[in-house]
Chains A and B, each alone.
Chain A
Amino acid sequence: MSDRIADIWGTRTPHAAGDDWPVRVDRYLEPGVPVRAVEWVQSACVLCSNGCGLDIGVHEGRIVGVRGRAGDRVNRGRLGPKGLFGWQANHAADRLTEPLVRRGGIKGSLEPAGWDEAMDLVVEHSREVLTAHGPLAMGFYNSGQLFLEDYYTLGVLVRAGIGTPHLDGNTRMCTATSDFALKETFGSDGPPGSLTDFDLCDTLFLVGHNAAETHTVLWARILDRLHGPDRPRLVVVDPRRTKVAREADVHLPIRNGTNQALLNGIQQQLIVNGWVDDDFVQAHTVGFDQLEATVAQYPPERVAEICDVPAADIRAAAELIGTGERLVSTALQGVYQSHQATAAACQINNINLLRGMIGRPGCTVFQFNGQPTAQNTRETGANGDLVGMRNWQNPDHVAELARLWNVDPLQIPSWAPPTHAMQIFRLIEQGSIRFLWVIGTNPAVSLPELHRIRSILGQDRLFLVVSDAFLTETADFADVVLPAAMWGEKTGTFTNHDRTVHLSEKAVDPPGQARPDMEIFLDYARRLDLRDVDGAPLLKWDTPEECFAAFKRITEGRPCDYSGLTYDRLRGGSGIQWPCTDKRPKGTERLYTDGTFNTDTEYTEDYGHDLVTGAAHERKDHTDLGAAGRAVLKTADYQPPNEAPSEDYPLLFTTGRTAYQWHTRTKTAHVPQLNAAAPEPWVELSAADAKQLDIEEGDLVRVESARGRLEAKARISGVREGVAFAPFHYGYWDTDGDGPGKHPRAANELTITAWDPVSKQPTFKVAAVRVRKLADGDGTPSPAPTTTASEPLTDDVPPTSGGTGVRETVRRTR
């Protein structure tokens, strides 16, 4: 039995390039449950975008544990700590089990109501707003954690039924840049590679991707190569000394906000040293001349100055990248939530294109996702995209959709891109949106500059509906709260970050009156009486399987082609990667294997943008570009960040996650093993800054920006000098009524309202702050985990542990 809180990644199973990743089945069951009596129900994990295949253990109608699925291509039986322990959140005593409505006006309280009363209220207010202000006064903000069927139902309901462009997901905070960078370079969304590329590569380039904590099972996969006989070389870009950085051959702890300069510099080195695959670039890309001219301005010495890392290390990194034979590059929030997000993400695509390393085994670029079902918000159009990876600027695409939905093309909002989340909140602030439905997400803690968000949500003129499994900080502002079923309590599908689609079956009934999100949306559409042009109900399905069948038809012929998938095909074995058609029933492991990309003007999902301003290219710009199946090498100069350190606020601030918590902890704080590992927020400082500020491990500190403040205990860690870090998970629902005024502990009190001009993803990772000590810690260390990037510099902090009872079974390979 292993302690998987102490050892996040579990037992090593090292192997050489080209060998199959060995199977290791991880299992955790509630103590005392008779193993033989447990029934196993097929599912996959919803606590990160890796989407590990697992079975849910059920005993006497209760979920009692999980085990990894040995045959699944994603995890080969492994689970991370959140996957192993996270299911206990379903049992939380404070789950929402009945609808609540606010009685007694804005100052009144939320009180229990029946579904009919609650839904009638939602429908009545929707009708009022629609009559008085029209569809553009209606807004919907959903999650990255629903199932495909929930999203698709919501997408059709909002786009074709209500007809408002104001529908986005919290995926805007997490993977919008992944989506946009893929569209800019390759012509459509869709991760090109396969997770098996990690088993084959000889060089790894991880940019702003703390895989050890964000994707723990993927990191176990990478560790098995790093500790194997032919270790791939590893280049890491991260201002923190993460576990990933500790394994690196070259670690570039750049000043946050300077990715674009660094990546331009690496491309400059690839070009001047002749590490470019000229034949591939000539045949399969456009834009090289412009790229060459731009990056020529970024020699290592200039980049070293901007990023504050040694020029020799930049050269060394470029040499590893430039001389490998099988390169896998990856990006995550250190790119997406930083300055010049889309521009920098595109440069990572460029690097693989310059090396001619894409579409082949061991050669790819991953613009990773964060949330488990983020990919589906993008495919179903429940975020900033048009369903089926269609182009909102292409009238033929809109007409096709209207025909498939049997609605008037004009009904579908396509005059501009779907409104991004930050703009939806701006329109609420302005009083232009009067109705907002928040589904399975918690903007009152997760959006930037929280005092602003709270004041927007607290307006009297806004009617706020929240559907969730828990009473979140956002639900505190709601007029109606609807109890939603969680994972394990409903059936549906979702897709991970290498296009693997999993089926997750219902294992148990939801508690009380809680309902699956899809059923709530269907009920709403019925009560609103939404119809197609022939007067038939707009939403023509009742079950998840029928919804999946409807979605499949919409995707036929598009990049994310699901037409060959059925629930039956997804049962029993491994998840399957789209595109999956009747001709390719086993799915498709890699995209772009013939060097042809989705950039044909008729087919492309997006005509592209200027990366610095976000100016949208129009059809004529795209035809002029003449990409016609070639990838686009996008380029941009480095721009200084929106907020730089100053005399008043001398430190750079960045936020991030810890391996043990998820989002705003609505689920993980209800899991004893996970919550005990990271129970309270903390602030990380470098030894040099701590010394200068007279701060020691465990001291209570205040971090202030121009927008707010945060108080937490200090952890002296390996974060780069001049940078303060805080985890973004902590809010106020479990603080015994201590709100932000009395005891501010949400990292987003400090963050800036600014977003990337292309992906519109907020800039959580660059702000200016000052730090001072409030009280001595009396030698008690901060509650930050010792097992992760927050590892203390001294060895007198008790090690994080407490995840015993996990059985790991390594299957020996022949």
Chain B
Amino acid sequence: MKLDRLIEDVYDHETTLAKQLRKTAERHAADHDIYHLGHSQARACAQRMEQLGPHAERHGVTPPEAPTSTSPTLVEGMRHATADLLGRAKPTGQLLVADLRKLYLAAQATELAWVILAQSAQAARDAALLAAASTGKDGTTVCAKWLRTRIKEAAPQVYAAG
């Protein structure tokens, strides 16, 4: 049984995703929906990690600290300020689509980590872990779907407008 490794894998992916969501939120703070939803989705990552906590301990994994920082770091603050300054420039649209594409892939990778955990939990007949992993998978599916929706809206303006 190597479920512990899969749990650690989920933690790694969620931590990376949360960081990337926050980074994108601050970098595109002039796109206010990206700013607000980016941060709230980062909080959702932390919540999913917390919910996995008891199962992680059962499998001998020490849950890492959830990335819940509410006050922005220095780097994040700088990104926000830059976003406000450069928010008027047209290339920010292109940059947004590029960053959302990366985020989408990170969300997909995280979803896959949960799928692998859920599959293995089912095969190991660990019903509680299976339930937790399914909830985690649903959450990351929604996150990816939000990004897909947003990319579909944003891309034509960047690439079809002259």
- Judge whether B30 is part of the interface by a CB distance below 8 angstroms: yes
Q: Is A431 an interface residue (CB 8 A)?
A: yes
Total inter-chain residue pairs, C-beta < 8 Å: 76
- Chain B residue, CB-CB nearest to A136: B161
- A residues in contact with B30, CB < 8 Å: 426, 429
Set B37, B148, B152, B157: member contacting A136, Cβ < 8 A: B157
Interface of B is mostly: helix
- The reply to whether A613 and B161 contact each other, CB–CB distance below 8 Å, is no
Tell me which residues across on chain A come within 8 A of B146, comparing CB atoms: 610, 613-615, 757
Asked whether, in the complex, the Cβ of B89 is within 8 Å of the Cβ of A639, the reply is no
Q: Does B87 contact A (CB under 8 A)?
A: yes
How far, in Å, is A477 (CB) from chain B's closest CB?
16
Complex CA gap A422/B35 in Å reads 14
Within 8 Å CB of B33, what residues of A?
Answer: 614, 754-755, 757
- The interface bits of chain A over 617-647 (1 if a CB of B lies within 8 angstroms of the residue's CB, else 0) are 0000000000000000000000100100000
Whether A615 contacts B142 in the complex (CB less than 8 A), given A136-B160, A429-B88, A430-B93, comes out as yes
B162 partner, pick from A137, A753, A757, beta carbons under 8 A: A137
Q: For A569, list chain B residues within 8 Å (CB).
A: none
Q: Which residues of B contact A11 (CB under 8 A)?
A: none
Size band of the interface chain B makes with A: 20 to 34
Given A612-B142, A639-B40, A426-B162 contact (CB < 8 Å): no
CB of B73 within 8 Å of the partner chain: no
Bound: A755/B33 CA distance, A: 7
Q: In the complex where A430-B90, A430-B93, A613-B146 touch, is A642 in contact with B161 (Cβ < 8 A)?
A: no
Any chain A CB within 8 A of the CB of B145?
yes
Asked if B36 is an interface residue, CB under 8 A from chain A, the answer is yes
Q: Is the CB of A614 within 8 A of B149?
A: yes
Residues of B within 8 A of A755 (CB): 32-33
Complex contacts, B156 vs chain A, CB 8 Å: 136, 415-416
A432 close to B162 (CB less than 8 A): no
Interface residues of A in 580-622 (CB under 8 A from B): 610, 612-616
Q: Does A132 sit within 8 A of B, measured CB to CB?
A: yes
| Chain B residues, CB < 8 A from A615 | 142, 145-146, 148-149
Chain A residue with Cβ nearest B156: A415
Asked whether, in the complex, the Cβ of B90 is within 8 Å of the Cβ of A613, the reply is no
Residues of B with C-beta under 8 A to A310: none
Chain A residues 711-732 with CB under 8 Å of chain B are none
Most buried by A among B40, B88, B146, B157: B157
Smallest distance from the beta carbon of B105 to chain A beta carbons, Å? 16
Contact call B87/A430, Cβ cutoff below 8 A: yes
If A416-B153, A429-B30, A432-B93 touch, whether A613 touches B143 (CB-CB below 8 Å) is yes
Query: How far is A423 from B30 in the complex, measured between Cα atoms in Å?
Result: 11
CA distance A395 to B88 in the complex (A): 35
Q: How far is the CA of A615 from the CA of B149 in the complex (A)?
A: 6
Alpha-carbon separation in the docked complex, A426 to B153 (Å):
13
* B32 in contact with A613 (CB, 8 Å): no
- Indicate with 1 or 0, residue by residue over A401-443, a CB within 8 angstroms of chain B CB atoms: 0000000000000011101001100110111100000000000
Judge whether B32 and A133 touch: CB under 8 Å.
Answer: no
Q: CA A432 – CA B31 in complex, angstroms?
A: 14
B36 touches which one: A137, A616, A754 (CB < 8 A)? A754
A287 located at the interface, meaning its Cβ lies under 8 Å from any Cβ of chain B in the complex: no
A394 to B152, CA, bound (A): 16
A431 touches B162 (CB 8 A): no
A427 to B93, CA, bound (A): 9
CB pair B37–A757 under 8 Å, yes or no, is yes
Q: How far is the CA of A787 from the CA of B36 in the complex (A)?
A: 39
- The docked-state distance in angstroms from the alpha carbon of A642 to that of B41 is 12
- A residues less than 8 Å from B88 (CB atoms): 429-431
Q: Decide: A613 and B160 in contact? CB cutoff 8 A.
A: no
CA distance A311 to B20 in the complex (A): 40
* Residues 26-59 of B at the A interface (beta carbon under 8 Å): 30-33, 36-37, 40-41
B122 on interface, CB distance cutoff 8 Å:
no
Asked if A777 is at the interface (CB within 8 A of a chain B CB), the reply is no
- A772 and B160 CA atoms in complex are apart in Å by 50
A134 CB–B CB distance under 8 Å: yes
In the complex, B92 has a CB within 8 A of chain A:
yes
Given A422-B32, A642-B36, A754-B32: A134 and B160 interface contact (C-beta under 8 Å): yes
A423: B residues at CB distance < 8 A: 153
Proximity string of chain B (86-107) to chain A, C-beta cutoff 8 Å, 1 when within and 0 when not? 0111101100000000000000
B31, B89, B145, B152: the one contacting A426 at CB < 8 Å is B31
A426 CB contacts on chain B under 8 angstroms: 30-32
CB distance from A347 to the nearest CB of B (A): 19
A426–B41 Cα distance when bound, in Å, is 22
**A610 vs B40: C-alpha distance when bound (angstroms):** 14
| A613 interface neighbour in B31, B41, B157, Cβ under 8 Å | B41
Query: Given A134-B160, A422-B32 in contact, is the A613-B153 Cβ separation under 8 Å?
Result: no
Across-interface contacts of B92 in A (CB, < 8 A):
430
Nearest A residue to B86 via CB reads A430
CB-CB under 8 A from A754, the residues of chain B are 32-33, 36
Which residues of A lie under 8 Å from residue B37 when comparing CB positions?
613-614, 757
**CA–CA, A430 and B93, complex, Å:** 8
- Complex: A145 Cα to B105 Cα, angstroms: 44
Which interface residue of A415, A432, A613, A753 has the most chain B CB atoms within 10 A?
A: A613
- Chain A 467-489 interface mask (CB, 8 Å, partner B; 1/0): 00000000000000000000000
Taking CB atoms, residues of chain A closer than 8 Å to B161 are 133-134, 136-137, 432
Nearest CB to that of B159 among chain A residues? A136
Q: Name the contact of A432 in the complex, choosing from B36, B41, B90, B143 (C-beta under 8 A).
A: B90
Minimum CB distance partner of B144 in chain A: A615
* B31: chain A residues within 8 A (beta carbon): 426
Give the CA-CA distance A415 to B90 in the complex, in Å.
21
Does the CB pair B162–A416 fall under 8 Å?
A: no
Task: Kindly state the separation between the CA atoms of A614 and B150 in the bound complex, as whole angstroms.
Answer: 9
Our pick among A136, A416, A610, A753 for the contact of B32 (Cβ within 8 Å) is: A753
CA distance A459 to B31 in the complex (A): 18
Compute how far the CA of A467 lies from the CA of B143 in the bound complex, rounded to whole angstroms.
41
Complex CA gap A133/B158 in Å reads 11
Residue of A whose beta carbon sits closest to that of B149:
A616
Q: Which residues of B contact A757 (CB under 8 A)?
A: 33, 37, 146
Tell me the minimal C-beta distance from A133 to chain B in angstroms.
Answer: 4
Across the interface, B152 reaches (CB within 8 A) one of A132, A134, A416, A431, namely A416
Contacts of B149 in A (CB 8 A): 614-616
Q: Which residues in B have their C-beta under 8 angstroms from that of A427?
A: 157
Chain B residues with CB under 8 A of A134: 160-162
A324 to B122, CA, bound (A): 46
Q: Which chain B residue shows the least CB distance to A165?
A: B156
Q: Which residue of A lies closest to B160 (CB)?
A: A136
Chain A's closest residue to B32 (CB) is A753
Contacts of B157 in A (CB 8 A): 136, 427, 432
**Residues from 123 to 146 in B contacting A, C-beta threshold 8 Å:** 142-143, 145-146
Known: A137-B161, A416-B153, A427-B157. A613 touches B142 (CB 8 A): yes
Interface residues of A (CB under 8 A from B): 132-134, 136-137, 415-417, 419, 422-423, 426-427, 429-432, 610, 612-616, 639, 642, 753-755, 757
Give 26 A-B contacts (CB < 8 Å), ordered by A residue: A133-B161, A133-B162, A134-B162, A136-B160, A136-B161, A137-B161, A415-B156, A416-B152, A419-B153, A427-B157, A429-B30, A429-B88, A430-B87, A430-B88, A430-B93, A432-B157, A610-B142, A610-B146, A612-B40, A612-B142, A616-B145, A642-B36, A754-B33, A754-B36, A757-B33, A757-B37
Binding site for A on B (CB under 8 A): 30-33, 36-37, 40-41, 87-90, 92-93, 142-143, 145-146, 148-149, 152-153, 156-157, 160-162
Q: A137-B162, A639-B40 are in contact. List 20 more A-B contacts (CB 8 A).
A: A136-B161, A137-B161, A415-B152, A416-B156, A426-B31, A430-B87, A430-B89, A430-B90, A432-B90, A610-B142, A613-B142, A613-B143, A613-B145, A614-B37, A615-B145, A615-B146, A616-B152, A642-B36, A753-B32, A755-B33
Q: Which 6 A-B pairs give the minimum distances between C-beta atoms?
A: A613-B146, A136-B161, A615-B145, A615-B146, A133-B162, A416-B153
